[in-house]
Amino acid sequence: MSRGTEILYKGSRITGKHDTPECEPIYLTNAFNVSDLDELDFVYDGGGYAYNRTCNPNRTLLAESMTYLEGGEDTLICNCGMSAITTALQTLVKAGDHILSDRTLYGETIDVISRVLGKFGVEVTYIDFADLDQVRAGIRPNTRVLYTETESNPMMGIVDIAAVAEIAHAHGCRLVVDNTFTTSYMIRPLEQGADVVVSSLTKFVNGHGDTLCGSITGSREFIKEAYEIQQFTGSVADPFSCWTVSRSIRTLDLRMPRHMDNAARLAAALEKDPHVTRVLYPGLASHPQHELASRVFEHGYGGMLSFFVPEDREKINAFMHALRYVRYAMTLGGPRTTIAHPVTSSHYDVPEEERRKMGITFGLIRVSVGLEDPEDLIADFTNALKVFDD
């Protein structure tokens, strides 16, 4: 055979026993060979792999982990949180249907519901899910889905999933819950009565700030329907991203307590700081839903918090410069503590009046608390906050 042909085939087949590597390999392949048409039938019956959009071992393995963690029957792994949310909703609604949604969602989720699904004739109303009377009153004859997050961004509001699920089911609706901020370590929405849980694995679940990935977990029947949509629209995660998230899940239960313990300590320190007017953290007795948080969250109150400083652009800039370790980043759930400024990022498009109604002012800083030594972390914030002195 010529070099031109050999170069294609040499080194493309592993020989010897290779099906028990200690760490799962990354299956970077578009397709899998089948030896004959009988084997193809076996693959079609779910016994193997043929094409990457249809199935990939790294996606299968990650799905198995997420199904276990969220306590569901099956999981679909998507290329990011947004595609997981979109795929789940595309499975559940059609033109003429109505979605009743919490008002304080992740910005792009509102865009998907209002602008993307809206284009295809899906209706939506946004209300406050903390007020169960509003939830009951908001359901219409064509409502199919109730949609909420376990903890809202950036005000750290909490929704009573079990109570909302009861209302949803009494009206024949399904409840979809985004568990990104809290993860299965703190709450398993399916156990509280939700029908579908979606998550941006990009955040705490992957936890290393290096990958985009998302998941949908629910009943076997629902995931089968969602899988069909995913096959057509192609919202699949690539093998490498799945592999990084699978790797990270091994340490989820070691990382989360550290995030949460650091957040609790930082929240307490910020609440005492004279430059901070208010701290939003569900673990503080001052949080309006502290009791609900204690009832629904396991192990603690999460790694996210927000706090208010004076609405002074120059001083906020000086504060950002004065932080020695902590940096600004438009993400969350990573190993390093990061801050964000909702008015100029996640809520930039929200009109000022509406933003103020939500309580989001220019002085609001959101913190994703990382894995640092807590003393260093607190010192970094309290030192930098001194810029508000003069």
**Residues binding ligand PLP (CB under 6 A):** 80-82, 106, 109, 149, 153, 178, 180-181, 200, 202-203, 212, 214
Shortest distance in whole angstroms from residue 301 CB to ligand PLP: 17
In the complex with ligand PLP, which residue's Cβ is closer, 344 or 345? 345
Shortest distance in whole angstroms from residue 343 CB to ligand PLP: 17
Shortest distance in whole angstroms from residue 140 CB to ligand PLP: 25
Backbone dihedral region for residue 234 (phi beyond 0: left; psi -120 to 50: alpha; all else: beta): left
Long-range contacts of 135-143 (CB under 8 A, 24+ apart): 135/100, 135/164, 135/167, 136/167, 138/100, 139/100, 139/167, 139/171, 139/173, 140/98, 140/100, 142/96, 142/97, 142/98, 143/97, 143/98, 143/99, 143/100, 143/171, 143/173
> What is the rounded CA–CA span in Å between residue 139 and residue 137?
6
Shortest distance in whole angstroms from residue 150 CB to ligand PLP: 9
Dihedral over Cα of 170, 172, 173, 174: its sign = positive
Shortest distance in whole angstroms from residue 304 CB to ligand PLP: 9
In the complex with ligand PLP, which residue's Cβ is closer, 190 or 385? 190
Look-up of token digits 């169960």: 132
In the complex with ligand PLP, which residue's Cβ is closer, 56 or 180? 180
In the complex with ligand PLP, which residue's Cβ is closer, 61 or 340? 340
> What is the rounded CA–CA span in Å between residue 299 and residue 264?
12
In the complex with ligand PLP, which residue's Cβ is closer, 180 or 192? 180
Shortest distance in whole angstroms from residue 34 CB to ligand PLP: 34
Shortest distance in whole angstroms from residue 7 CB to ligand PLP: 38
Instruction: Count the alpha carbons within 13 Å of 49 in the hemisphere toward its beta carbon.
Output: 15
In the complex with ligand PLP, which residue's Cβ is closer, 176 or 276? 176
In the complex with ligand PLP, which residue's Cβ is closer, 154 or 387? 154
Shortest distance in whole angstroms from residue 214 CB to ligand PLP: 5
Q: E strands within 79-210? A: 98-102, 123-127, 143-149, 174-178, 196-200
In the complex with ligand PLP, which residue's Cβ is closer, 48 or 359? 359
CA distances from 120 to 115, 146, 228, 235 (A): 9, 18, 19, 19
User: What are the DSSP calls for 219-272, one per residue?
Assistant: -HHHHHHHHHHHHHH--BPPHHHHHHHHHHHTTHHHHHHHHHHHHHHHHHHHHH
350 burial type by CB count under 10 A (0-12 exposed, 13-18 middle, 19+ buried): middle
